[in-house]
Amino acid sequence: MTGMDESLLPQKSRITIFNKLVICRFCSNDVFIPYEVIVNVEQPGIGVHHVRYAAICQYCGEVKHFGDPSYYDAEKGNYIWALNQFLLSVKKYRVKILFYVGKRKQDKKTIFINKLMQDFGAEIENVKEFKEEVLLQIRFSDLNDIQTNKIRIMSCAKRLNIYVKELTIK
């Protein structure tokens, strides 16, 4: 999207101001959901309002506040658009995880599945339990690529001391 004459849409996107990407100062990521914020810029009761934006980082939750610095260039006779929004497509993934839990570690299985559901917003398709192994099939939607999601799943398993034998993401 370029040369916007309308408000930013409240959807996951990358935002640029004068073609410079907006980056989160805490986690250095660039995926935000922008929202319009109406601010009273004068003394209360006068009724002069100004539109600004609050964009929420989709990785750490930091809120970035900014205005629209677009302006009319009288010398050239045209309007200079500052804000651009690039909407991101959300990918759908199906994941198959075969992991080892041991004989007395059934609590870890439940904690691991709950953590995946919480972190990824995953839906469980199937859970099959063998002697000391569990085959878990889930699906979720995410902006990240396959490799990033593999790293996130493996990191979650490692924190819970779960040994993942096989991990397939399609």
Q: Which of the listed residues 87, 115, 145 is the one where a domain comes to its end? A: 87
| Domain total of the chain | 2
Q: Could you report the per-residue pLDDT of 97-153, keeping only the tens digit for each?
A: 999 887 767 788 889 999 999 988 899 999 998 888 899 999 998 877 888 899 999
Question: Would the pLDDT of 166 be above 50?
Answer: yes
The per-residue DSSP string of 46-67 comes to S--EEEEEEEEETTT--EEEE-
Q: Give the predicted TM-score (pTM) of the model.
A: 0.55
On whether the CB atoms of residues 70 and 54 are closer than 8 A, the answer is no
Q: What are phi and psi of 75, to 5 degrees?
A: -65, -45
- Residue 51 forms part of a structural domain: yes
Domain, as residue range, for 73: 13-87
CATH number of the domain residue 141 falls in: 3.30.70.600
Euclidean distance between CA atoms 31 and 8, whole angstroms: 14
